[in-house]
Amino acid sequence: MKKGIKVVTIGGGSSYTPELIEGFIKRYHEMPIRELWLVDVEAGKEKLEIVGSLAKRMIEEAKVDIDLHWTLNRKKALKDANFVTTQFRVGGLDARILDERIPAKYNMLGQETNGAGGVFKALRTVPVIYDIIEDINTLCPEAWLINFTNPAGIVSEAVFRYTDFERFIGVCNVPINLTNHFARVLKTDVKKIIPYFGGLNHLSYVFHIYQKSKDYLPDIMHHLKQEQISMNNIDPMAWDIDFIEQLGVYPSPYHKYYYYYKEMYQKFMTQYNHGETRAEHVKELEQTLFKKYQDTNLKTKPKELEERGGAYYSDVACSVISSIYNDKREYHVVNTVNNGFITDLPYGCAIEITSRITKDGPVPVYIGRLPNEIKGLVQNVKSFEEILVDAIFEKNLKKAKFALQINPFTNSINDASQAFDELVEAHKPYLDYYLKEQS
C-alpha cells in the first residue's frame, strides 16, 4: 500500500463521525491519511455539512495534513479509496422510532438489532450494503470495507452468504467496552490482555481472558459479584450470580435481552407508554449534539457523544484499519467468516470472534465447540439470521416475516405477523427493493 491512504466514510453526517475523526487524528503518526471523504444522502445534507465543518476544525486544531472532503456523490468519493467505513442509518432516527414503537403495539420488544426492529433495519440496510460493495468492486477493488452499521451481524451474514467480497470486516463497540472493563478489574494495560470472544454480534461470550498465558476469566467471574458492567444503551439490571456461574462464560450486556426478556420488555413498555423509547431519547440527544457541533469554537469531540451509545467505536474501527495498513497483527474482536473456528456454527457463516488483524485481514482464534449451556441459543439466533438473509437476497417479504416469527423474541406468530405488516406499510419508502418484486 503506498504512503498515505484514502478513507471514505459512508454515513458521514452521523453524530458518530467526530468519534471517528478523533481516532484518525490520534493515529495519524502510524496511519497517515492523505484524503478523507465524508459521504451522505440528500436527506442528510444539512447534518453532513455541520459534521464536515466540525471535522475540518478538529483536523486544523490537531495540525495534521488530512485533505477533507464531504459530498453526496458516493461514486466520486470512492474512486481509488483504500478503506471504506460504513455507519449509516436508512430512514434516519424516525425509522428507528417506528422500529421500536410499532412492535410495542403488538406486545413485542422493539430494538434496533434484535427482534422486529432488527429485522426491519436489516431489510432497509442490506440492499444498500450490496450497492456499496458493487461500487467498491468497480471504483476501488482493493479497498477494505469496515462496517459499523447495525444490525452488524446480519449485515455481515448477508455479505459472506451472497457476495464474493472478501475484504469485509464488521465491528462493534460492545467487546471493547467489556475488554476495557476487564483491564480495569485486573489493574493492567488493556493491550496486555487477550479476551477470547466467540459467538454472534450482540450474542458473543467471553471464554478466556489471557494475560501472559494465564487465563484470568475465573478472577473476572468472581469479581462480577462486586462490580458489573453495563452500557449507556442497555439497562443496568444486575446479573444473577448463580446463573452466571452455571453459564460458565462471561456474557455481554446485550444478553439481558435474552436471559431477562420479561424484565427488559416491561421496562421497554414503560418507556414506550411515556414516549421515552431509546430511539426517542437518542433523537433528543442528537439534536443536542448537533447544536454543539454548530459551535464554531468547538474543535474537539464533545464528551456528550459518549452517551450516544457508540463509545470506543473509533478505537475499534481505527485500530483495525491501522492493523491492516501496518500489518500489526493486533487482536481485535470482529465480525468475520467462520471457517471452522466455531464448529457448532455453519461453515462460512458470520461470527463475532477475537482475531489477529493482519495485512490480509482477520485470523480468528479457535473456539471449537460451544458449551451446551449456550449452544442452543446461539444456534437458534444464527438460524434466524440465515433465513432472514435468504429472504433479503430473494426479495421475499413472506420469508422475512417467517424469520421474525421464529425469532427468540417472538411469543406469538400472530402478533409478529401483524407487527410485520404494519412495519412494511410504515417503511414503504425504503422497501422498493422488495415491493417492486411484488407489484
Catalytic site residue from 16, 106, 254, 272? 254
CA dist., res. 50 & res. 45, Å (int): 9
Cell numbers that stand for 227 in this block: 462490580
Contacts of 228 (CB under 8 A, 6+ apart): 236, 238, 239
Helices 115-139 & 152-162, crossing angle to 10 degrees?
Answer: 50
CA dist., res. 11 & res. 88, Å (int): 4
Q: For the chain, what percentages of helix, strand and coil (3-state, to nearest 5) are there? A: 50, 15, 30
What's the Cα-to-Cα distance from 53 to each of 61, 83, 119, 143, rounded to whole Å? Answer: 12, 22, 34, 26
- Residue 254 annotated among the catalytic residues of the structure: yes
What's the distance, CA 382 to chain centroid? 16
- Residue holding cell 456454527? 345
Cell numbers that stand for 111 in this block: 430494538
What's the Cα-to-Cα distance from 358 to each of 27, 86, 152, 175, 247, rounded to whole Å? Answer: 17, 20, 21, 19, 33
Helix H segments across 106-255? 115-139, 152-162, 174-186, 217-223, 241-247
- Which of 173, 161, 146, 157 has the alpha carbon at shortest distance from 119? 157
Most distant pair of Cα atoms in the chain: their distance: 61
For residues 11 and 19, the answer to whether their CB atoms sit within 8 Å is: no
The residues annotated as belonging to the active site are 254
